[in-house]
Amino acid sequence: MAAFISPTRGPLNFDQVFAEILAYVDQEPATPYKLIVGTDSQTKDEQCFVSAIVIHRTGKGARYFYQKTNQRRIRSLRQKIFYETALSLNLASRLAEKLASCALKNLQIEIHLDVGTGGDTKELIREITGMVLGSGFDPKIKPDSYGASKVADKHTK
């Protein structure tokens, strides 16, 4: 499994990312937070997938961590979107498992999806959001899915 990258801390493993999230929340525990997971991809010679974890201190900034993986090219848009969603769900499940054993167990996880009503992915919205809801997470689509469309997308290039 590839390491995560923190723009401020450099390479981190999953446990170190989780510790960074806890430390960030501990700085201002009374402030509301959102924990966001999103994945985006870019096709070059291979398909570059980037999954991002964002801890958003509502109205006061955020920290994020990302992980890159390369796969063979996926030609089907439907298959690519489902794979992006599966990567996000896997990461969110790992976070939820860690959250369940600490003081932040009530922190909800949002899954930011690279689908929206204005493009080729509009036909997939119902299936993809259903997949996320069925897994117990809160789905967000464009334009509200900045974890995928801005943060993860930034590192696919």
What are 120-144's pLDDT values in tens digits? 999 999 999 999 999 999 999 999 9
**Helix pair angle (14-27, 77-99), 10° resolution:** 60
Reported in sequence order, the residue ranges of the chain that DSSP labels E, i.e. its strands, are 4-6, 10-12, 33-43, 47-57, 62-71, 109-112, 138-140
Domain parsing of the chain, residue ranges: 4-154
Is residue 43 within 8 A of residue 28, CB to CB? The reply is no
Residue 45: which pLDDT band, with cuts at 50, 70 and 90?
confident
> If you average pLDDT over every residue of the chain, what do you get?
93
Q: What is the pTM of this model?
A: 0.94
User: What was the pLDDT predicted at 2?
Assistant: 72
| Predicted local confidence at residue 1, as pLDDT | 57
